[in-house]
Chain A
Amino acid sequence: DVKVTQSSRYLVKRTGEKVFLECVQDMDHENMFWYRQDPGLGLRLIYFSYDVKMKEKGDIPEGYSVSREKKERFSLILESASTNQTSMYLCASSLKGGANYGYTFGSGTRLTVV
């Protein structure tokens, strides 16, 4: 069964810490995405990547960066975690080549910054 795996289901970090959220997919997908989900705001796109070493800003990139050194792995980095980054983070991947392919999502990482 194809999968998008997020390294942690729950994470608690302190304000000011550097936080790494890891995502790995085993489907050889070119595209990978990071979303955050908050009550009342839905899913919002943070960053995405269409290929290795490529990255594009989504709708809410402030306070985040990403790394895509290998095709299967897409990391989200919180350079200095703040309490307003407490959220559910969802990673997704898809094939390149148009809208005829669905996204596959991971199970999510619930991050709490204290």
Chain B
Amino acid sequence: DAKTTQPPSMDCAEGRAANLPCNHSTISGNEYVYWYRQIHSQGPQYIIHGLKNNETNEMASLIITEDRKSSTLILPHATLRDTAVYYCISLATGGGNKLTFGTGTQLKVEL
């Protein structure tokens, strides 16, 4: 599975969009991009995933560049409850789908 790179921390004002970048320059054609987040003292929570098309759900949007070497998770109207560590993970298809977590981005949403 390809290695991903994320900034260690970001700040965002409440009500504004939070744009969290992720680089995955070695991603292969069968690898999806997954995003999870972990609020303090809880288990990680699935947010969204995509292969090459942009995706949107009730939590967030995922924008994947055309060359698939990077992506951005967008929380359109961040709230204080979105303060968490956000993990970007690339994962190949197939039965052996083991998630490997990096160190993620600590997002702090402030008033």
Give chain A's interface residues, CB within 8 Å of chain B: 4, 31, 33, 35, 42-45, 48, 50, 58, 90, 92, 94, 96-108
Give chain B's interface residues, CB within 8 Å of chain A: 31-32, 34, 36, 41-46, 49, 91-104
Looking at chain B's contact residues, is the secondary structure mostly helix, strand, loop, or mixed?
Answer: loop
Most buried by B among A31, A90, A99, A104: A99
A48 pairs with B98, CB closer than 8 A = yes
A105 pairs with B34, CB closer than 8 A = no
| 7 closest residue pairs by CB, A with B | A105-B43, A102-B46, A43-B101, A98-B93, A99-B91, A99-B32, A99-B93
| Contact for B93 among A4, A94, A100, A104, CB less than 8 A | A100
Chain B residues closer than 8 Å to A98, beta-carbon distance: 93-95, 97
